């Protein structure tokens, strides 16, 4: 089973023309594709299923309650399937069936432990103000994001614990699952908790974890007892005028 992975294309400002990787069975879009949503049109008539996990920027300037159904409909209009707290099964050309668990996940700000949470949430204020999203008419702030993140985490923990007969389990989130996914340009600081969660306990229940949000690329493994290591991959393009996109491969395919 081969998954093409793209994230953080930021087509609201970036010039990028996505192309299908010839050998892929599906395309995973791990969020921040286009804050205007217009760039989703680039994936119309894609030769394999296109699966989208929303990024934070998909909500820029929007009301949460309206944005979810609108984004789902907008994506479906060009044949993209938006996934949020959903489990799907995919069958590859090799006949392998995998289960894919998808959620944006958001940030719960506990990356450095509960005693650092308040600092982490304060440091997120700037990003949240930039986002200018609302929920029930109120600013979608760090407190609202944490509440959402905890619901996503609970859903993911439960979904990962369900019995299944698939050959592998793939998790797709927008936010990073480990401090190891932090962007090395910035080191570890309170705002790192706006990008990554401490999902180590969940990570080791998956075979492959795909994510975006950090504007750098990753491909690393995490050991787990009695099983092959878990692989974590991020193929984020980011913003070229900030010299991001190093290591980004527009035709990146991940085997599972």
Footprint of Fe ion on this chain (CB under 5 A)?
8, 32, 55-56, 213
Give min distance, CB of 89 to Fe ion, in A.
27
Residue 55: burial class (beta carbons within 10 Å; 0-12, 13-18, 19+): buried
Closest contact distance (angstroms) between CB of 183 and Fe ion is 11
Buried b or exposed e, range 197-228, using 16+ CB within 10 angstroms:
bbbeebbbbbbbbbbbbbbbbbeeebeeeeee
Residue nearer to Fe ion on the CB measure, 176 or 190: 176
Taking the complex as a whole, the smallest distance from the CB of residue 200 to Fe ion amounts, in Å, to 21
CA–CA separation, 52 vs 63, rounded Å?
19
Q: Which is nearer to Fe ion, 73 or 130 (CB)?
A: 130
Task: Give 44's DSSP letter.
Answer: T
Q: Specify the residue, 125 or 229, whose C-beta has the smaller distance to Fe ion.
A: 125
> How far is the C-alpha of 149 from the C-alpha of 86, rounded, in Å?
15
Residue closer to Fe ion by CB (options 97, 249) is 249
Between residues 105 and 117, which has the closer beta carbon with respect to Fe ion? 105
Please provide residue 104's backbone torsions phi and psi, each rounded to the nearest 5 degrees: -60, -35
* Pick 9 or 168: Cβ nearer Fe ion: 9
Nearest distance, CB of residue 115 and Fe ion, angstroms: 26
Q: Which of 65, 23, 31 is nearest to 51 (CA)?
A: 31
CB of 155 to Fe ion, least distance (A): 19
Shortest spacing between CB 255 and Fe ion, in angstroms: 25
Letter string b/e over residues 173-190, b meaning 16 or more CB atoms within 10 A of that residue's CB: bbbbbbbebbbeeeeeeb
Looking at beta carbons, which residue is closest to Fe ion? 32
Residue positions counted in the chain? 256
Q: Is 35 helix (H, G, I), strand (E, B) or coil?
A: coil
């Amino acid at each position: 089973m081969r998954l093409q992975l793209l994230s953080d294309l930021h087509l609201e400002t970036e010039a990028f023309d996505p192309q299908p990787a010839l050998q892929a069975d599906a395309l995973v879009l791990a969020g921040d594709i286009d804050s205007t949503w217009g760039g989703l049109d680039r994936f119309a008539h894609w030769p394999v299923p296109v699966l989208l996990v929303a990024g934070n920027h998909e909500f820029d300037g929007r009301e949460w309650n309206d944005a979810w159904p609108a984004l789902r409909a907008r994506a479906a209009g060009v044949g993209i399937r938006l996934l949020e707290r959903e489990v799907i099964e995919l069958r590859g050309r090799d006949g392998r069936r995998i289960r894919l668990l998808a959620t944006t996940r958001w940030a719960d700000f506990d990356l450095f432990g509960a005693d650092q949470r308040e600092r982490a949430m304060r440091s997120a204020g700037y990003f949240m103000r930039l986002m200018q999203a609302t929920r029930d008419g109120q600013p979608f702030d760090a407190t609202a994001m944490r509440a959402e993140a905890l619901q996503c985490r609970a859903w993911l923990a439960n979904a990962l614990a369900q019995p299944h007969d698939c050959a592998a389990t793939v998790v797709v989130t927008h936010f990073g699952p480990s401090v190891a996914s932090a962007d090395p340009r910035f080191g570890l600081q309170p705002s790192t908790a706006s990008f990554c969660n401490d999902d180590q306990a969940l990570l080791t229940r998956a075979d492959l974890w795909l994510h975006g949000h950090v504007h750098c690329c990753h491909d690393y493994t995490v050991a787990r007892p009695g099983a092959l290591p878990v692989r974590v991959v991020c193929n984020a393009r980011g913003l070229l005028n900030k010299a991001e996109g190093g290591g980004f491969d527009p035709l990146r395919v991940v085997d599972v």
